[in-house]
Amino acid sequence: MRILVISDIHANYTALEAVLKDAGAVDETWCLGDLVGYGPDPNAVIEEVRDIANLTCLLGNHDVAVIGKIPFEAFNGDARRTLEYHEKVLTADNMNFLRSLPSNLKVREDASLVHGSPRDSVWEYILNTLSARLNFDHFTTPWCMVGHSHLQCMFRLDERTDRVTLEPVRAGDRVQLKPRLIMNPGSVGQPRDRDPRAAYAIYDSTEKIWEPRRAAYDIPEVQKRIREVGLPEKHAIRIAEGW
């Protein structure tokens, strides 16, 4: 099966469109959460995601906040302002779609799927080899796919030496997978690895190949919409710089 793996779309409809076009035909789509937060297009993004066939979609921390399950105070001022705006503009149908999504770890094929980390599915960031090592004890599949950090990356556990390394994978690589791994497809709508192009991955579950990819999109167009609806300027600046 050819599977599209996306995460952290963050209400950036233009980036999502570019990814869906760039990915081409897929058998399934796995979305690791954070449809809302930061960007100008929460309704358009949710409507597009709802229409994707054979979809597995998890809740991210911003989604959990907007449906009222965690207080907005858990977020910094700029993120909070955007969540307040999203809560106000989301249609009832789109809010109900978010409410229907799970926030816990899901197993699909050979993979565990979570937004944050296997031991804290909504909130923990896997940013380094230490947090990756601790999390290898919290899933049983050969690999685990995570989002949340907005970094396109891959951690490998060598079970013989019990050491974790950050693998030097790059967009365009076709990585032959061997147990055990934690991989992050990166963020569609707000990458933070200094490459502003939308990040995603293609997972071939038959051949066990992971393909991190990037898709260019019209960033000024999204910045214009962020400014039009009066969201924080910081969100407009950072999507052009990829942080």
Binding site for Zn ion (CB under 5 A): 8, 34
- Nearer to Zn ion by C-beta: 34 or 211? 34
User: How many angstroms separate the CA atoms of 111 and 205, rounded?
Assistant: 9
The SS3 assignment for 220 reads: helix
Cα dihedral 137, 187, 95, 203, rounded to 10, equals -60
CB 82 to Zn ion: min, Å: 12
User: Smallest distance from the beta carbon of 27 to Zn ion, in angstroms?
Assistant: 26
3-state secondary structure of 233: helix
Closest separation in Å from C-beta 10 to Zn ion? 6
Q: What are the φ/ψ torsions at residue 78 (nearest 5 degrees)?
A: -65, -40
Is 37 or 157 the residue whose CB approaches Zn ion more closely?
37
Could you tell me how many helices (H) and strands (E) the chain has, helices first?
Answer: 8, 12
Contacts of residue 152, Cβ cutoff 8 Å, sequence gap at least 6? 169, 171, 184, 185, 186, 191, 193, 195, 199, 201, 212, 214
Which of 17/34 has CB closer to Zn ion?
34
Report helix, strand or coil for 176: strand
Q: What is the 3-state secondary structure (H, E, C) of 69-122?
A: CCCHHHCCHHHHHHHHHHHHHCCHHHHHHHHCCCCCCEEECCEEECCCCCCCCC
User: Whose Cβ is closer to Zn ion: residue 8's or residue 28's?
Assistant: 8
Q: Residue 8 Cβ, how far from Zn ion at the closest point, in Å?
A: 4
**Shortest spacing between CB 60 and Zn ion, in angstroms:** 6
Closest to Zn ion by CB, 35 or 219? 35
Q: State which residue, 180 or 235, has the beta carbon closest to Zn ion.
A: 235
Minimum distance from CB of 195 to Zn ion (Å)?
16
